[in-house]
Structure 1
Amino acid sequence: MGAFDMLSIAGSSMGMHQTWLDSLANNIANVNTVVSTSQTAFQTQTPIVRALAGGGVEVAGLALSDPNGRLVSDPGNPMADADGYVRAPEDDLATQMTSLVMAQRGFQASVQVTKDAQDTYRSALEIGRR
């Protein structure tokens, strides 16, 4: 492992977690989006992550949830079908918020690794000056 590999690995982790946070923000903003049963439901996005050979990770793409979503009984909704149903996203707010906490903690851990690596490199430079 090279001298600056820790920074590179932590940086790739921060980038991945930022993508995850962005997709979660979009998912949360649309958690209550409903459409008529003849339309496609909002598809929540989840990053597909793969390990890099030299260390670190990258986002390989985004997985989308089932376009059929789930049927919700809401007879008062103007978009409801004749049976009173609308189509809603597959995931709920609790699931998205749980993922949000995990993504935030992962991002924070990556930031801490970056800070620790910088402190280590700084200390090594100080030793070299003496």
Structure 2
Amino acid sequence: MSLMKIFDTAGSGMSAESLRLNTVASNLANADSVSSSPDTAYKAKELLFAPVLQAQGGVASQNADTNVGVRMEGVTESQQPVETHYEPGNPMADASGFVYGSNVNPIDELVNMISASRSYQNNVEVMNTAKQLMIKTINLGS
């Protein structure tokens, strides 16, 4: 694996973690939202990622020069049930007096945010280390 591909791999990881952080922020922003029906209540978004392993020439093998990374496969909605509250005075209440809250769990989202930010930071460190190695290699010839 060439040293330049390290930047592609780490950059791919940074992009994925950035998407995770944006999704967590969106989920947290909608954690307290309510709706008049369970179908329209906000459901937490979850990202699906898949590894990328693509060799030059289209065939991946252990000896081939490969590009590796991660890509987003799609976005799904959490299957957890939405919260139901009896609030007959709420303008969003249905005919029975219920409002339906989101299924976002703020604790899970904060854990996901910490994990994503640490992974992003690790990818930055990989890029910085690779850059320092390249600079030291160039300075060997001077």
**What TM-score does the superposition give when structure 2 sets the normalisation length?**
0.81
Residue 14 of structure 1 aligns with which residue? 14
Paired with 2:129 and 2:122, the residues of 1 have a C-alpha distance of 10
CA contact (8 A) 1:40 1:68 kept: no
Percent of aligned pairs with the same residue? 26
RMSD over aligned CA atoms reads 1.9
**Structure 2: distance between partners of 1:51 and 1:108:** 19
Alignment of 1:52-67 (within 5 A): 52-53=52-53, 54-66=67-79
SS in structure 2 opposite 1:52? strand
Query: What is the distance in 2 between the residues matched to 1:66 and 1:41?
Result: 12
1:27 pairs with 2:27: yes
Given that 2:3 and 2:130 are in contact with CA atoms closer than 8 Å, whether structure 1 keeps it comes out as no
SS of equivalent to 1:50: strand
The gaps in structure 1 that reach 5 residues or longer are none
Q: Once the two structures are superposed, what CA deviation does each residue of 1:43-82 show, in whole Å capped at 9, x if it has no partner?
A: 2212111000131111111122249623234444222234
Q: 1:1-52 CA distances to partner (integer Å, 9 max, x unpaired)? A: 1121111100000000011111111111101011012641112212111000
The reply to whether residue 112 of structure 1 matches residue 125 of structure 2 is yes
Q: 1:92 to 1:72 in 2, by over 3 A?
A: farther
Q: Secondary structure at the match of 1:23?
A: helix
Scaled by the length of structure 1, what TM-score is found? 0.88
Mapped partners of 1:18, 1:45: distance in 2: 15
Find runs of 4+ consecutive structure 1 residues off by over 4 angstroms: none
List aligned pairs for 1:40-51, cutoff 5 A. 40-51=40-51
**Are the equivalent residues in 2 in contact too, given 1:49–1:61 (CA < 8 A)?**
yes
Is this contact kept in 1: 2:7–2:127, CA < 8 A? Answer: yes
Secondary structure class of the residue paired with 1:86:
strand
Residue type of the alignment partner of 2:33: T
Q: Is the 8 A contact 2:34 2:102 kept in 1?
A: yes
Segment of structure 1 superposing worse, 38-47 or 67-76: 67-76
8 Å CA contact 1:41–1:67 kept in 2: the answer is no
Determine the structure 2 residue equivalent to 1:72.
85
Q: Which runs of 5 or more structure 2 residues have no equivalent in the other structure?
A: 54-66
